[in-house]
Structure 1
Amino acid sequence: MITQVEITHTFNATRELVFRSFTESEHLQNWWGPKEWTFHVAKADFRPGGVFHYSQNPADGDVMWVKFVYNEMITPERVVYTSYFSDEDGNIVRAPFNENWPLETLNTLTFTENGGKTTLTAIVAPAASATEEELKTFGESQVMVHEGFSGTFNQLEDYLSKELK
């Protein structure tokens, strides 16, 4: 059974800039999430133990809240956070698209620079508390996870190309 998804993307930008794009809300709010969705930052505290809580809303759908809790942050090398769908107050709720989606996922981002370009490796896995059904759902959803992160990273690439001009 597939227990994690790995996504790798190389950006034409320094590691420091790519890292800041993930750890500063003035950057993150310009590219994170599905394309064409409205994005609102409710709380941004980028440090171990800190929280990033936001809402995103498609033009034709209901608002969706998500919360990250940062476990580790090593500037500019690595970010580890737990993410989950939440209500407006930050309480864990079931994913709106599948009630068997893991309540929490562990996300590890590693930033490696080579020749002025940065390779980001993201590993997404269900949290240790996931049930068998949640693990099965996650395994069956690997394409969705990969496509979601890849699309988001493409948006970051577009954002960085504008930032660097």
Structure 2
Amino acid sequence: MSNPMITKVMGQELILERVFNAPRELVFKAFSDAEHLKHWWGPRGWTLSVCHVDFRPGGIWHYCMKCIDENQGDFFGYESWGKSVYQEIVDGEKIVYIDYFSDADGNEAEGMPSSLINLIFEEFEGKTKLINIAKYASAEALQSVIDMGMEQGVAQTWDRLAEHLQAMQ
């Protein structure tokens, strides 16, 4: 099932690409529906304990990832809250949102970098190429999330997405 994620860093942008063996509509739905997101969002060993999605421009996705894997040492039991505010949605093609670290009440976490995310869903040889372009306020802000292990976390999350898509078909 190995289908590597391609990573490019360009200034203050992180560009991630991967091809998923699923129709574009299904991949898009996996990103837009809370019932789908609960199955795959987050790295291995993490679960979405909270997932509220208001999927429309101006709507908010507020979630909590919780580490349920005892093998992850200090992270076991740890919660990481996030909030996304949808800017633009083109059904089946594109989702644009601002991504924040947050607290349980949805307040943006101070001192943590936010990013403008462009998710692009392209038809690709009967599959779907997903392109995630994350723009940060500065190259330093981008480097701080890379240093947190975000790239590895996304790779694991997208592996879980691939497994979820396979199970859905």
Question: What's the TM-score once normalised by structure 2's chain length?
Answer: 0.82
Count residues in correspondence: 152
Aligned-CA RMSD value: 1.8
Which blocks of at least 5 consecutive residues in structure 1 are unaligned?
Answer: none
- The answer on whether the counterparts of 1:5 and 1:142 sit within 8 Å (CA) in structure 2 is no
Deviation at 1:85, TM superposition (A): 1.0
In the other structure, the counterpart of 2:58 is 49
Instruction: Give the Cα–Cα distance (whole angstroms) in 1 for the partners of residues 89 and 96 of structure 2.
Output: 6
Secondary structure of 1:161 counterpart:
helix
Task: Spell out structure 1 runs of 4+ moving beyond 6 A.
Answer: none
Contact preservation (8 Å) 1:7, 1:150: no
The equivalent of 2:126 in structure 1 is 116
Gaps of 5+ in 2: 1-9, 69-75
Are 2:121 and 1:105 aligned? Answer: no
Give how far 1:140 is off.
5.5
Distance in 2, Cα, partners of 1:58 & 1:80: 27
Q: Which structure 2 residues correspond to residues 10-25 of structure 1 after superposition, within 5 A? A: 10-25=19-34
| Matched letter for residue 91 of structure 2 | T
Look up the equivalent residue of 1:119 and give its one-letter code. K
Query: Which of 152, 155, 161 is equivalent to 2:157?
Result: 152
Tell me which amino acid in the other structure corresponds to 2:32. Answer: T
Q: After TM superposition, give the deviation of residue 44 of structure 1 in Å.
A: 1.0
- For 2:87, the equivalent position in structure 1 comes to 71
Q: Which amino acid aligns with 1:75?
A: D
What is the SS of the residue equivalent to 2:56? coil
Separation (CA, whole Å) in 2 of partners of 1:125 and 1:140: 13
Letter in 2 for 1:24: D
- Indicate yes or no: 2:104 matched with 1:88: yes
| Cα separation, 1, equivalents of 2:59 and 2:23 | 25
Residue equivalent to 2:166: 161
Tell me how far 1:31 sits from its aligned partner.
Answer: 0.3
Higher strand share: 2
- Which amino acid is 2:143 matched to? G
> In the TM superposition, what whole-angstrom CA distance separates every residue of 1:53-106 from its partner, at most 9, and x where no partner exists?
011111313222110100011010000111111111100114xxxx5x41x111
